[in-house]
Amino acid sequence: MIKIFRYELKKLLFNRFFAALMIVTLCYGYMLLRGSVILGIANTAPFSPWSFGFYLSSLLPMLAAILLFFIAHLSSKQEKMTQSLTSAAPVPPGLYRFVRCGAIFTGVFLMSAVCCLLGYIFLGSLFRLENIPVGEWLLPGLMVLVPALLFTAGLGMVVGMWRGWAVYGVIGVVLLSAFLPLPNWALLIPTAFFMDYPKTLGVLDPAFSIPSSMAAGRFVYCVLGILLMAGSLRLRTQTSLVKSKRLRQ
């Protein structure tokens, strides 16, 4: 399994489309840093965890779209043509697909890490690297990326199992959700949270914290994401079983 995972990850990372999307994402990240983040979000420093969270949240629609784009590719015609070969391998097809999705998830996570590095270099070059509290970025980074990408990947896998093209619809839904006026705890893309919440804390330059409702919301997204992924694995396994039973009959 690890071998397949490594192979798939390597294939993704050296994919020309991935490289092109990486460049586009970095360009967008640079525009965000240069246009909004540099001003400091919610009156905090441009290098504060709040500004960093805003930066990642703003990048999130693009990252989620890329994640879904590659998941959709798993259901493409080309992939289906190779299915007869891969299904002959001694690995359950559902698990094989799960590992491939895991590789895509990891690839997009690495892309996010490169965007973080871009932020670090950009802000570090302006404000000196020693002033950038990278350690404080960890919590907002995980809080923004993990639940949203897990949930998106899970949803994409389940929908992709049904119809490959429908994953493009999920991209639309995810992008649309960025514009919906939802309460903080329900936000998949929590840009509004980073813009508004620090101002409600009543102090200037507040330390990073999230309300319990928000934490619960993020936790729910994580759990839903994992359940959807597991569901897609089971769904696939069941479908394969039904197919193989039919074949035997």
Partner 1 sequence: MSSFLRCYRVELHKLLRSPFSWLIFAVSLAAPMGNFIFVMGDTMSSLYLARPVASGAIAGTVLFAILTLYELDRTRRSGVHLLTDSAVSPLALNAAKLLAINTAALGISILMALIYFPYIYGKLNIVFSLPTYLGSFFLLLLPALWMGAIAAALFYQLVGRVDASFLAVLALLLVSRGSWFKGNNFMQWSLPALPALTDNFSNAPLFRSALYTRAVWLGILGGGWLLSLLCVRRYGKGIAGSFAANAKRLLPAPAAALALITAGALLWRFQPLFDHTPVNWMEVEEPDRYVEGVYPMDVKLDVDITSYLWGTLSGSAKYQIKNITGQPQEIYFNLNSGYRIRSMRIDGQDIPWTDLENDYINSREIKCTIPSSENVALEIQYSGAPKTWNVMQDTFGGAVISRNYIDLSSANLAPRFSDYAAEELPKISLNITLPATLTPVTTGDAPQLLQENPNGTKDWLLTNEGDRIMLYAADYVRRPLEGGGMPIWFYYSRNYEKQMEDLGAIDIMEAAVRYCTEHYGLRSFTEDQPFKILQDSVFTFGGAAWSTLSVMGESYFSSENLSDPDKGSSSAEVLAHEIIHQWWGLGSQMMDFSEPYWTDEGITTYTSYRLIKELRGEDYAQKNYVDKWQAAVDDANNSFYVRHPEYMEILPEEFAADIASTIHGVNLYDGTALMIKRIADKIGEDKLDAALSKLYQNGGTEAPPYISFNDFINACGVSKEEFHYD
Among 6, 10, 11, 23, contact with partner 1 (rule: CB under 8 A): 23
> If we measure between CA atoms, which residue out of 107, 133, 125, 114 comes closest to residue 51?
133
Shortest distance (Å) from residue 165 CB to partner 1: 6
| Range in contact with partner 1 (rule: CB under 8 A) among 11-19, 52-60, 182-190, 214-222 | 11-19
Q: Is 20 in the site for partner 1 (CB under 8 A)?
A: yes
Q: Is 44 in the site for partner 1 (CB under 8 A)?
A: yes
Window 46-65: contact mask with partner 1 (x via CB under 8 A): x-------------------
Shortest distance (Å) from residue 19 CB to partner 1: 7
Contacts of 26 (CB under 8 A, 6+ apart): 114, 115, 118
Q: Is 201 in the site for partner 1 (CB under 8 A)?
A: no
Among 1, 7, 39, 142, contact with partner 1 (rule: CB under 8 A): 39
Spatial contact of 41 and 50, defined as CB atoms under 8 Å apart: yes
Q: What are phi and psi of 74, to 5 degrees?
A: -65, -25
Q: Compare residues 76 and 209 and give the one whose CB is closer to partner 1.
A: 76
| Range in contact with partner 1 (rule: CB under 8 A) among 40-48, 98-106, 140-148, 213-221 | 40-48
Cα dihedral 191, 52, 200, 216 sign: positive
Spatial contact of 156 and 67, defined as CB atoms under 8 Å apart: yes
Q: Compare residues 67 and 99 and give the one whose CB is closer to partner 1.
A: 67
As given in the structure block, the two tokens for residue 3 are: 């071998």
First CA to last CA across the chain, in angstroms?
Answer: 31
Q: What is the CA radius of gyration of the chain?
A: 20
Q: Is 204 in the site for partner 1 (CB under 8 A)?
A: yes
Q: Is 24 in the site for partner 1 (CB under 8 A)?
A: yes
Q: Is 17 in the site for partner 1 (CB under 8 A)?
A: yes
Query: What span, in angstroms and rounded, lies between the C-alpha atoms of 4 and 82?
Result: 15
Residues 130-169 that bind partner 1 (CB under 8 A): 165, 168
As given in the structure block, the two tokens for residue 60 are: 């999130």
Contacts of 69 (CB under 8 A, 6+ apart): 21, 167, 171
Where does this chain bind partner 1 (CB under 8 A)? 16-17, 19-20, 23-24, 27, 34, 38-40, 43-46, 126-128, 165, 168, 172, 204-205
